[in-house]
Structure 1
Amino acid sequence: MEVSAHKDSFARDHLPPQQDWPELLLEGNPDVDYPARINCAQMLVDNMVLQGHGDRVALRWRDGDTLRSMTYQALMTLTNRIAGVLVDDMGLVPGNRILLRGPNNVMMAASWLGAIKAGLITVPTMPLLRAAELKKAIDKAEVQAALCDSRLAEELEYCLAPDHPSFCPTLKQVRYFHDDGPDSLDTLAAAQTDTFVSCDTAVDDVCLIAFTSGTTGKPKGCMHFHRDVLAMCDTFSRYTLSMNADEIVCGTPPLAFTFGLGGLLCFPLRVGASTVLEERLTPDGLLATIQDFGVTMTFTAPTFYRRMASLVGNYDLSTLKNSVSAGEALPDATRQLWKKATGIEMIDGIGGTEMIHVYVSSPPSEVRRGAIGKVVPGYVAQVVDEDFMPLPYGEVGRLAVKGPTGCRYLADERQHTFVQHGWNLPGDSFAMDEDGYFYYQARNDDMIITAGYNVAGPEVENVLLTHEVVAECGVVAKPDDERGNVVKAFVVLKQGHDAGPEMAKRLQDFVKTAIAPYKYPREVEFVDSLPRTETGKLQRFVLRQKARE
């Protein structure tokens, strides 16, 4: 590895041993042949200005009824000022971890870029997360500081309170944006200079810890280098999306998800294009955004495309050329519904937080019905059995992937599960045909993927079990035409409590107050007992079968 610029060595100290990394396909690939010293935020913003494109529009947004924009020059200035606040006012040093909390807006995007310019390691988080969920990420990454939208302050404040169960002892300071207070990020940034010398980071210095949730609900921190951020742009975006400088993109995935971070920020910035950042979008709202901003490419989950298909006649979508779907399996019925409504062939893709972005996909001209696609240039993949032997064409097995990016968990024994024999094992079952097209079958574990969100069944169970009326429960995925899956809870009530719609709503509301609202069970079925093995283990496969029925 290159000599690190980090004064705080936490990230390198907590990387898995190199023998536990996947094989990285870097040599001989000019697309990912980067200099030894590189700062990805500088490459995404400042380099565009240095190349004479400072007047191009980088960010767009809606301010009431007014459409606003920010040039690359202005974005460079804003990110420099934020970096100055982090270093001068907050005293942070390269390698420190900083939590980012906010919806998709200019300040959230600029905070991510400014923090990376300062050599910090960003830990972006979903706006919907509660204090207990934030604590898991903060404690795991030993986060020292945070930048947060002032409208989301309440849950983060609990993490600062010594008498609260979610108190985080490493978190020492927070600056809020969209706030006019004397210590707010906005006020401090306004007092900074326009210039900042970006940290001279190594190409393999960690700049992002992206958290994902496994089947146990125990968060896994995925550690990504400056090189990885650029590599996702120079593989999937370059070859499958063919993104160019004239694109205007928009979509629904949060910047805290690598799907959103790539599609809605890094990909367009890498080529001098622009992105529309919208904090909250309904299907109608996304269509209106496409129409009003002249959007050429959109990113969202299959659920949104299915809902939008019946509404497209109400909007002018003449500028839209490409639609990208990821986050969950794309049903062929949804693909065909969208194509019939718009004439656009969907770009489907499968990726993951561990790999930073999409590694199997196909451009519209190469789509094969029923398949997600082929490996993205720069990656290789195979379908293997339990002994890691490649399977014949058409047989279902485990997907194994290699490429210029790969899984490096933050101090987590599950590294040995995800990475085996130099390959990444994302936990998906696939079949491959003779032409190299991959056909998705199912997840290998108990993760529930609903409307593009990952929900761990055991995490929801743990919340339900804290309610006074719940004796036992099991949470599984139930197939759903619109959402792919919905979260379904099978609940055994304690004696003396009556089942029914009112009780179901009471439990649903309880879950919403404890963890992110999107994780609540949309269906609650009351049962007398749960299926268990002789050793007392819950048989989730029986519940899944019952949910399907």
Structure 2
Amino acid sequence: MKQLDKRKNSNEIDHYAKLYHDFRWQVPDHFNIAEACCHRWAGQQGLIAILSEDSEGNQRSLSYTELYQQASQLSNLLRQEGVQRGDVVACILPQRPETAITIMACLQIGAIVMPLSFLFGPDALEFRLKHSQAIGIVLDSSGIKAFEEIRMQCPDLKTVISIDCPGNQDLPPNIDWHTHLPAMPKRCDIVRTRASDPAILIYTSGTTGAPKGALIPHSAIIGNLTGFVASQNWFPQENDVFWSPADWAWTGGLMDALLPTLYFGKPIVGYQGRFSADTAYYLLEKYQVTNTFLFPTALKMMMKADAAPREKYKLALRAIMSAGEAVGDAVFNWCEQALEVTPNEMFGQTEMNYIVGNSHQLWPARPGSMGRPYPGHRVAVIDDEGKETATGVTGEVAMHRYDLYGHPDPVFFLGYWKNDEATRNKFTGDWCRTGDLALRDADGYLWYQGRADDMFKAAGYRIGPSEIENCLVKHAAVANVAVVPKPDKERGNIVKAYVVLSKGYDASDALISELQNHVRGKLAPYEYPKEIEFIDALPMTTTGKIQRRILRLREEERARQTN
């Protein structure tokens, strides 16, 4: 590795073909995430699992031994309350030790854990609790308000375990975590689960229809590991510490940060508070974070906040994985020059995660590219009929049920909860469609072209937002941007950009012209935004993805009102 590190920026380093073709999956028949991420480390006294801090500076740490003991106590409490193997238990908690404890407690007794974001409103929460038929829930004060509004509409919910929550006389009695857990035994026999048994239920918000519950097996963490190890520059290494602002209730935070870090017995930093560039630098320095997963939006904020962070902060950062949006060469180059770390872009989704990406120390990372299929995953770009497209032709990213050697890929989800039709529609033969568009170059790199529903035509040209957004964010005035189609009678659509301004810049007609000329001089003439609207903040998902659909619908509604 040291020899490779010295040549990490050289295009001569390309070990991809050998790594990919030599890899074979080794998935045991019986496997449980809690055993792999908790039990096997519990005997090592003093080994830290979680370093926790909140926005007020309160700090805690949790060792792997304590994680095992408290997870066992919670398992015994859940069993006492009637939770059985295969039951769904919800978890509405931020990045705090109790989140990991709850996940391990559920998995080791064979229950299915359903992590839910504390940002969910009552409607989103009610749908998921009712649709999943969850019989238990663990939550703290961050999610109690929304839960109180819908508690009586969830008849299947029998057990409510609360952490630091005030009592409410209108609700059935809650079980207080701090009162009841200490009375439970600190040992719990782990259920012998098969690798293919269900473990985690995560609801994904599609572009149409109600959210779908993706049921994830225990084996999925094994399927994630090739991508995690590679994108984190061969994690773990001595003294590695992980941190990501990604919510542990979502795939990005759970499967790309929390669980793989625990799998390798390393510490992860959990922070309860809003993300900001200053907070990111503070955490990176204080905890000497070596590895991170940062959304492109977060990297853009950090780039705009401090052009030369290593002159101000003592950083130990050695690896950055980024996903959710294309990083683009502006942010890519800043990471290399200012953070002195080449970012490894990654692509995946809840149903099959961590399937494409980069690992710049072992194969070249090309700015803006999604990367190549990680070892063990057979990924292609296909057309509407399920046939692989030619080099340079845009199609839909899809992954095969079986790897290069005909073995089942362990990363796959089991199906959508109580939605067999949606599960069938996800596949074309053995290809599982992602809904994301890309093209493949001659060297096997995939280049993201946007979501299928983000692509649009303007004046006959097929346009994807990512290239235009990447161009605009290179301008100092642009903190963030989203490009969508605006309906136009003559052209069908025109290109419109919603721009969040950087500090120190004010909206003006002159700035609009400047930004338009900035794009016009770098991209095709039909790609420059004919209209720019300044906005305080872009609509974002809790996982940091820009919700262009909301902006697109806004433009469609405006067009209807003017016609």
Which of the five TM-score ranges fits, normalised by the shorter chain?
0.7 to 0.9
Find the aligned partners of 1:74 and 1:132 in 2 and give their Cα distance: 35
In structure 1, the partner of 2:121 is: 130
Matches of residues 415-454 of structure 1 in structure 2 within 5 Å?
415-445=423-453
Say which of 105, 118, 135 aligns to 1:114: 105
The answer on 1:287 being equivalent to 2:276 is no
Q: Aligned pair in 2 of structure 1 residues 135, 32: CA closer, same or farther (>3 Å)?
A: farther
Find the aligned partners of 2:298 and 2:328 in 1 and give their Cα distance: 12
* AA aligned opposite 1:210: I
Q: Does the 8 Å contact 1:306/1:338 carry over to 2?
A: no
- Displacement after TM superposition at 1:192 (Å): 0.9
Find the aligned partners of 1:225 and 1:261 in 2 and give their Cα distance: 14
- Displacement after TM superposition at 1:317 (Å): 4.0
Matches of residues 409-420 of structure 1 in structure 2 within 5 Å?
409-412=416-419, 413-420=421-428
Q: Aligned pair in 2 of structure 1 residues 447, 143: CA closer, same or farther (>3 Å)?
A: farther
In structure 1, the partner of 2:512 is: none
3-state DSSP of counterpart to 1:235:
helix
Q: Aligned pair in 2 of structure 1 residues 194, 489: CA closer, same or farther (>3 Å)?
A: farther
Say which of 293, 296, 301 aligns to 1:302: 296
Find the aligned partners of 1:486 and 1:142 in 2 and give their Cα distance: 39
- Displacement after TM superposition at 1:328 (Å): 2.1
In structure 1, the partner of 2:236 is: 244
Moved more, 364-373 or 277-286: 364-373
In structure 1, the partner of 2:524 is: none
Deviation digits for residues 72-95 of structure 1, max 9, x if unmatched? Answer: 11111111111111112x221111
In structure 1, the partner of 2:355 is: 359
Q: Does the 8 Å contact 2:332/2:367 carry over to 1?
A: no
- Displacement after TM superposition at 1:249 (Å): 0.7
* AA aligned opposite 2:221: V
The answer on 1:40 being equivalent to 2:36 is no
Number of aligned residue pairs: 446
Find the aligned partners of 2:149 and 2:72 in 1 and give their Cα distance: 30
In structure 2, the partner of 1:220 is: 212
- Displacement after TM superposition at 1:421 (Å): 1.0
In structure 1, the partner of 2:397 is: 399
Q: Aligned pair in 2 of structure 1 residues 103, 425: CA closer, same or farther (>3 Å)?
A: same
* AA aligned opposite 1:358: Y
Say which of 161, 165, 172 aligns to 1:175: 161
Find the aligned partners of 1:249 and 1:81 in 2 and give their Cα distance: 26
In structure 1, the partner of 2:265 is: 272
3-state DSSP of counterpart to 1:364:
coil
3-state DSSP of counterpart to 1:431:
strand
Deviation digits for residues 465-504 of structure 1, max 9, x if unmatched? Answer: xxxxxxxxxxx999574445389999xxxxxxxxxxxxxx
- Displacement after TM superposition at 1:377 (Å): 0.7
In structure 1, the partner of 2:386 is: 388
Q: Does the 8 Å contact 2:107/2:199 carry over to 1?
A: yes
Q: Does the 8 Å contact 1:96/1:120 carry over to 2?
A: yes
TM-score, normalising length: structure 1: 0.75
- Displacement after TM superposition at 1:251 (Å): 1.2
- Displacement after TM superposition at 1:521 (Å): 6.1
In structure 2, the partner of 1:466 is: none
* AA aligned opposite 1:183: I
Q: Which runs of 5 or more residues in structure 2 are unaligned? A: 1-21, 168-173, 401-408, 457-464, 474-478, 488-535
In structure 2, the partner of 1:95 is: 86
In structure 2, the partner of 1:316 is: 313
Find the aligned partners of 2:371 and 2:562 in 1 and give their Cα distance: 38
Find the aligned partners of 1:338 and 1:304 in 2 and give their Cα distance: 12
* AA aligned opposite 2:182: A
TM-score, normalising length: structure 2: 0.73
- Displacement after TM superposition at 1:364 (Å): 2.1
Deviation digits for residues 298-326 of structure 1, max 9, x if unmatched? Answer: 11210111111242257424311111111
In structure 2, the partner of 1:204 is: 196
Q: Does the 8 Å contact 1:302/1:483 carry over to 2?
A: no
* AA aligned opposite 2:163: F
Q: Aligned pair in 2 of structure 1 residues 44, 397: CA closer, same or farther (>3 Å)?
A: same
Find the aligned partners of 2:138 and 2:482 in 1 and give their Cα distance: 33
Find the aligned partners of 1:315 and 1:201 in 2 and give their Cα distance: 49
Find the aligned partners of 1:313 and 1:521 in 2 and give their Cα distance: 37
Find the aligned partners of 1:390 and 1:224 in 2 and give their Cα distance: 27
The answer on 1:345 being equivalent to 2:337 is no
3-state DSSP of counterpart to 2:144:
helix
Find the aligned partners of 1:44 and 1:341 in 2 and give their Cα distance: 34
Find the aligned partners of 1:527 and 1:375 in 2 and give their Cα distance: 41
In structure 2, the partner of 1:494 is: none
Q: Does the 8 Å contact 1:215/1:447 carry over to 2?
A: no
Q: Does the 8 Å contact 2:67/2:101 carry over to 1?
A: yes
3-state DSSP of counterpart to 2:249:
coil
The answer on 1:69 being equivalent to 2:61 is yes
In structure 2, the partner of 1:462 is: none
Q: Aligned pair in 2 of structure 1 residues 487, 293: CA closer, same or farther (>3 Å)?
A: farther
Q: Does the 8 Å contact 1:81/1:189 carry over to 2?
A: yes
- Displacement after TM superposition at 1:60 (Å): 0.3
Q: Does the 8 Å contact 1:302/1:326 carry over to 2?
A: yes
3-state DSSP of counterpart to 1:360:
strand
Find the aligned partners of 2:302 and 2:263 in 1 and give their Cα distance: 29
Say which of 324, 328, 332 aligns to 2:325: 328
- Displacement after TM superposition at 1:189 (Å): 1.0
Q: Does the 8 Å contact 2:229/2:235 carry over to 1?
A: yes
In structure 2, the partner of 1:369 is: 367
3-state DSSP of counterpart to 1:425:
strand
Find the aligned partners of 1:81 and 1:447 in 2 and give their Cα distance: 50
